[in-house]
Structure 1
Amino acid sequence: MNVANDNAAFPAAASGRGLAAVWLFFTAVSFLVAPLPAVNEPHYLCKARSLADPAWCTDDFFLQSANAHYCFLLLTGSATRVAPLWLVTTLGRIASCGLLACGWIRISAALGLNQRRSYAAALLFAACSLVGSFSGEWVLGGFESKVPAWGLAMLAVAGWLTASIQHNTPHRTLLTAGLCSGLGSSLHPVVGGWLAVCLCAAQLFAGPGGLRHRLRGLLLFAVPALLAALPGLIPAVLFLRGSAAPGIDLSKAGFIQVFWRLRHHLDPTELTAQQWLYALIMLVIIAVGWFRLSPRQRPAARLLLALLAGSLLIAVAGLVIGWHNVPVEQLTDWRWRAALLRFYPFRTFDALLPMCASLLTVLAIGSRWPDGSPAETRGLTILTLVTLLAALAVRPAAPPGYSTAQYAEWRQACEWLRQHTAADALILTPRESFGFKWYAERAEYVCYKDCPQDAAGILEWDRRLWLLHEWTLSSSQDGRYDARDLELLRQRTDCDYILTRILGPFVDQPVWRGREWGIYRVPQGGLGAEP
């Protein structure tokens, strides 16, 4: 089955010009939709810097917690030793978008799309991604471990599609696909691991030829995938074993992670009607696209849908495991549910939905418009501008919990702490703290955003949040925060400063004051603050 296409041969979409166009477009979307730093970039980049330089923010307990994405942090951390965080992040975004573009252009070529149609599909993919998601998964945005992992996973998909469609391809095509899949798993074990499972299942049940041929292809893919994944899988296994150390309440940690901190990703009952509608619309688009394909296009598209079907089965399993109609605490089996849901059963399906919808749409309608016509060029230009404007329109002016003015002053407060406090100072920051270590380069006592992923770290994170909650309630009972309250905070947390816009009033004067934010010194022995 050699489905080249109704438009162009395989090399067309894989040309350098087509790759450059998709790369430039993905990069533009990334920087337009997500300001620097984006929502998860301080979380990952600061962790990476801490791994490379343990003396940096050494008292920050999140930075000292176990690392779930060791290979990514190791590679990125080495870059932070020679370049500032903003530059590492910028280059990381560009490089990751390059991987995504390379994977995209090769998948398109394997499906029979020429470079113009591949670019059109990339536009639709970005547009679908901007509209929403099923479980909060995204691919185009900031720089974190899952983005290059998705790029490598897409290269693996492209290699598998090529080997399945063109029988005369050498074995190295599947071997290379397995290598890319394994490298993706090393960077992000969950993203790469689930995609590898879907690829193996698709090869076994939907691959070309008889069972013996499919098993041979499965072996050619799976062996290099497993070997290349070992640098990331071994630390991940050790990470999981460390979470199961004696004396650690795994059940409580699982509850906190799955049904509280990450419930918007992991608990299916938390998915909104808008998210369900998004998934339904994507599936309808995929179904309509499939039925409008020509007979020559369907064999290749069937392989792509087999991959989506594998991710759908995983997502359905997650729905069955996680669905509940009563509060989680009333379930007798919530412990094993939490243990399974922590592996993100919805994310692969969520990411593949807009990919498959956009590719099948262009496959279905591509043969019905003239290739390279002025009308096509105008249409692609208009769609590019509309998509980029949409990316800019959904770009947040400030992180969640901040107005634009509050965020600007927050950065000023962080800069003051960076310049006027000791490098080993420990700061009590507010619940909405964002990018504090990125800007201030000082340790935080606890940060709601920076929740560790190991059981011990999750429990300590939870303990610190409750400690601060109790201290706040106790200190505010008399209507002011006095020396005794600060002394108690020092004894319990060893914090040196408080950065706040809500707590107070304090008896002592702040060492720095803005319109919204104030910085208060926590003295030793309950003495007054330094002016």
Structure 2
Amino acid sequence: MLWLELLAICFIVGGSPPPGVNETHYLTKARHYWDPSFCPGDAFLDSSDPHLAFYWSVGWLAAVAPLSVAAWVIRLLSWALVAWGWLRLGEELFGRVAESSPPSQAAARGGAAGTVQVAGDDSHQSETHESLPRPLPVREGGSDATRSPTAAAAFATALSFALWPLLIEYCNFAGEWVIAGGVEGKSFAYGFVLCGLAAMLRGQWNRTWALFGAASAFHVLAGGWSVVAAACVWVRQPRDRRTPLAKMAPALAAGGALALIGLAPALWLERNVPPHTAAEAARIYVFDRLPHHLAPLNLPLRELARRLLRSGVLLIAFGALAAANRNPRQSLLNRFAGAAVVMAVFGLAVNLALMHHQPVAARVLRYYWFRLGDVAVPWAAATGAAAVVVAWLPSRQAWRKAVAVVPLAWCAWSLLSLAGQRYRQPKPMAARRMTVDELTQWQDACGWIRANAPADAVFLIPKHAQSFKWYAQRADAGNWKDVPQDAISVVAWRERIGELFPIVLAADGSSLPYNAPAEQGSDRLRELATAYGITHAIDRRETPLPLPIVYANETFAVYDLSNSADR
């Protein structure tokens, strides 16, 4: 039952209609991988395919079912894995929550339960050995959720799981997500990471390395950085209590073999690539396309200040909760998150030290030094906050009760706000730039294209119209979202984007970006059609072009450029 509750939380947080922010990118790529006749001639879809574990495990669904159906099915599978991993993690931190036995029996099995203890807790006891965590305290007062070990553990697990994606959403530093952005390879990777963390808290290091290897197969960086953080936790354990390296060698080898499924395609991306091309591709990837993920110090000052403020608040809360913690297993989770923070600090140091040496900095920063911190600090803070809520909510001291109510109230308000917003405006995240009426018109125009345009048509689209392939199922000449991952294709993509959507100097000397086809005029569109084999264009009707219109609705027009492309 609790697992279903966690799935419901996933739906509230990430249940917007498909496509999600990254689903237009990953699921169309997966479909093209299995069905090359889907959008032939699309430069992004024809580029390298590094996410083999995703394509072979679930990506094939995008080729045998409508994209929206495939998105829902794959989302549910990833949510099921993430929820299962969190359930196992909650059992280690808070106690067994899946038992049907009476609370008195659950309390009697202290060795099978975790503990919710914080400094100053009314029922504080002396610390026990790390392998023998205490049961949850049984309260005489308080709500039903805090009167028995089993009920309190279930409540803490559900609350912490709800807090986790909310903290990621509102307090991230580098734009990471797990549930809210749709589904992709890292959605499954983090599910395996959670399962591996639960094994780590049990002291089952061999299982941890194998599960982190599976995570690396789905996303080599999400899994790989988790291996590094877990290794830091292992090193910090007392020598007489940690698993010897020799005993872990087979599991490390097995995990490494699994990780090769994700690592080998990633290494292949620069095979036989000239060094200067690889360096330029890294610079484009880090500083032109993804500074919000990879080089945050290069962001505008206002945006950087906002990120530092929100992540700083989270770090302060994490530090306070870690200082108050009396659960040895929570301490292990805190150390894991602390290692992720150290990685992020290193990334900031590189970003700062090499600010004026972008080609050199990019070779280091492209490895997403901030990714794990955006996920690990929120889950450590969420579990720590849930422990405080369960321990202090029944307290007779008003100030403790007030502190406990804060995360509970914020979580409830945030979830209700998300649910209400989705009910009022059920828009896909990939089309969040459009109003509901504009989206309806966009879907109508794309539907006409899907039904009437030649299968091998290539469209010039607005720069940020990332949902075009999803709805129209035709190739586009290029857009800002769909950056390839192999070095040669990245350089070609940047050159193409510069041609399709140039930035020119206005009369007053300011930069004037052309982000839509109609802004460039009919003569320029004919030139682009000839250069890139573009057969059609779609854009808003505010600036009509003297070109053949094959379809139009209230907002969008579809132009025929096939005569230009044939020349």
TM-score strictly above 0.5: yes
1:293 matched to 2:277: no
Alignment of 1:444-459 (within 5 A): 444-459=476-491
The aligned length equals: 484
Deviates more, 1:46-55 or 1:355-364: 355-364
1:322 matched to 2:322: no
1:146 matched to 2:186: yes
The root-mean-square deviation of aligned C-alpha atoms, in Å, is 3.2
Instruction: Please report the TM-score for the alignment, with normalisation by the length of structure 2.
Output: 0.78
1:202 matched to 2:233: yes
Inter-partner Cα distance in structure 2 for 1:479 and 1:465: 15
Q: Deviations over 1:103-160 (max 9, x none)?
A: 1111122123422211121122233234231110111221111111101111111101
CA contact (8 A) 2:338 2:377 kept: no
- What is the match of residue 23 of structure 2? 41
Inter-partner Cα distance in structure 2 for 1:38 and 1:144: 10
- What is the match of residue 231 of structure 1? 261
Deviates more, 1:219-228 or 1:501-510: 501-510
Inter-partner Cα distance in structure 1 for 2:367 and 2:486: 13
Quickly say closer, same or farther: Cα 1:246–1:479, change in 2 above 3 A: closer
Q: Deviations over 1:236-264 (max 9, x none)?
A: 2222x33x513862222222111111011
Alignment of 1:157-236 (within 5 A): 157-163=197-203, 173-204=204-235, 206-210=236-240, 213-216=243-246, 218-219=248-249, 221-236=251-266
1:262 matched to 2:290: yes
SS in 2 for 1:81: helix
Deviation at 1:82, TM superposition (A): 2.1
CA contact (8 A) 2:165 2:177 kept: no
Quickly say closer, same or farther: Cα 1:479–1:385, change in 2 above 3 A: closer
Counterpart amino acid of residue 476 in structure 2: E
Deviates more, 1:213-222 or 1:135-144: 213-222
SS in 1 for 2:367: coil
Match 1:513 to one of 525, 539, 552: 552
Inter-partner Cα distance in structure 2 for 1:64 and 1:18: 43
- What is the match of residue 88 of structure 2? 106
- What is the match of residue 62 of structure 1? 44
Instruction: Please report the TM-score for the alignment, with normalisation by the length of structure 1.
Output: 0.83
CA contact (8 A) 2:85 2:194 kept: yes
CA contact (8 A) 2:533 2:565 kept: no
Alignment of 1:84-483 (within 5 A): 84-113=66-95, 114-141=153-180, 142-163=182-203, 173-204=204-235, 206-210=236-240, 213-216=243-246, 218-219=248-249, 221-239=251-269, 241-242=270-271, 245-246=273-274, 249-269=277-297, 270=299, 272-294=304-326, 297=327, 299-323=328-352, 331=356, 333-370=357-394, 385-392=412-419, 397=427, 399-469=431-501, 481-482=521-522
Deviation at 1:383, TM superposition (A): 7.0
Q: Deviations over 1:442-486 (max 9, x none)?
A: 011111110111111111111111222459999x9x99945x555
Counterpart amino acid of residue 191 in structure 2: G
Quickly say closer, same or farther: Cα 1:304–1:469, change in 2 above 3 A: closer
Inter-partner Cα distance in structure 2 for 1:292 and 1:220: 37
Inter-partner Cα distance in structure 2 for 1:369 and 1:56: 55
Deviation at 1:266, TM superposition (A): 0.8
SS in 1 for 2:202: helix
- What is the match of residue 534 of structure 2? 495
Quickly say closer, same or farther: Cα 1:369–1:479, change in 2 above 3 A: closer
SS in 2 for 1:511: strand
> Which consecutive unaligned segments of at least 5 residues does structure 2 have?
96-152, 396-400, 505-512
- What is the match of residue 7 of structure 1? none
- What is the match of residue 79 of structure 1? 61
> Which consecutive unaligned segments of at least 5 residues does structure 1 have?
1-16, 164-172
